[in-house]
Amino acid sequence: MLIKKITVIFFVIYLVSCSNTKKDQNNNDSLVTKLDNEYDIEKKYTQAMIYLDENNLIEASKIFNNIEKLYPLSNEAIQSQIMSGFIDYVNLNYDSAIFKFNSIIRKYPSLKNLDYVYYMKALCFYEQIKHEDLDGEYNKLALKNLNQVIIRFPNSEYAKDSYQKIILVKSNIAAKHISIARFYHKKSKLTAALNRYQIIVSEYSETKFTPEALYRIAEIYYSLGMIEEAKKTASVLGYNYPDSEWYKYIYNDLTKKNEDNSFSKSLNKLLKK
């Protein structure tokens, strides 16, 4: 009886040992498979980046798409999505690129290089701006998305370029306002013109159109009998833009050409104070 019990115990130990050995073997096989997959993913991704660097966008796109399908949970799959969006951007397929970038932003809000995704999305809108009179919507969208880069990632390497592009977008918008304001001004629709000039001064003061807007505002104020407002506006122009051609226009008008003009006389007194 004792011998039978001992035999059973040894048999159980043997089964457990075999089970553990098989489990260890399976774990080892799983680890090897995982390492092989990781190596395969990295190899594919590296090859895709080589194609991209060689401007072979078709082959690069194929591999990026393949990585996304076969290894959807890998970091390379996420980066492949970003690169697919970039390829669409290069090919001027802006709508497709924006869709992909939005998807990445929604799915991976804590992604390490999310600043690049926001920046590329903003560029998709920015590069569709062609003319201030035709692309009002793209001006707004570009401005909104470039601001997102600066607000969310102020220390990003893309923040500085985003800020510079914001200035260009604002200049584009201000150009439209100044064009409309000049039209109203010539038609003696002074209130409508004044509103446009004031938008430039209040919202797009960084642009080159601000000195002219201030000059025109001073003109309109005086013609409407708002003498003090005209003086204050001319003073702002002289203080902030002393080297501007528009300040020089005022100065020349006051000192040489139109001293008999009541508007010029008023400003002349102001400048002599």
Q: Residue 136's pLDDT band (boundaries 50, 70, 90)?
A: confident
Above 50 in pLDDT, residue 38? Answer: yes
Average pLDDT over residues 191-220: 94
Give residues with Cβ within 8 angstroms of 97, minimum separation 6.
85, 86, 88, 89, 120, 121, 124
State the pLDDT at residue 234: 86
The radius of gyration of the chain's CA atoms, rounded to the nearest angstrom, is 34
pTM (2 d.p.): 0.71
The percent of residues in the chain predicted with pLDDT above 70, rounded, is 75
Above 80 in pLDDT, residue 131? Answer: no
Above 80 in pLDDT, residue 135? Answer: no
Average pLDDT over residues 180-191: 93
Across the chain, mean pLDDT equals: 82
User: In terms of pLDDT, which residue wins out, 133 or 238?
Assistant: 238
Above 90 in pLDDT, residue 62? Answer: yes
Average pLDDT over residues 69-96: 94
How do residues 45-58 score in pLDDT, each as one tens digit? 999 999 999 999 99
Average pLDDT over residues 22-35: 44
State the pLDDT at residue 1: 55
Above 80 in pLDDT, residue 102? Answer: yes
State the pLDDT at residue 223: 85
Residue 182 CA to residue 242 CA, distance in Å, equals 23
User: In terms of pLDDT, which residue wins out, 250 or 103?
Assistant: 103
State the pLDDT at residue 32: 36
State the pLDDT at residue 196: 96
State the pLDDT at residue 240: 93
State the pLDDT at residue 15: 45
Above 80 in pLDDT, residue 178? Answer: yes
How do residues 146-176 score in pLDDT, each as one tens digit? 999 999 999 999 999 999 999 999 998 999 9
User: In terms of pLDDT, which residue wins out, 72 or 94?
Assistant: 94
State the pLDDT at residue 249: 78
Above 60 in pLDDT, residue 244? Answer: yes
Q: Which of 34, 35, 100, 95 is nearest to 61 (CA)?
A: 100
Q: Which of 219, 263, 217, 209 is nearest to 241 (CA)?
A: 209
Above 50 in pLDDT, residue 271? Answer: no
State the pLDDT at residue 72: 86
Residue 83 CA to residue 48 CA, distance in Å, equals 9
159 contacts 149 by C-beta, under 8 angstroms? yes
Average pLDDT over residues 31-44: 61
State the pLDDT at residue 50: 94
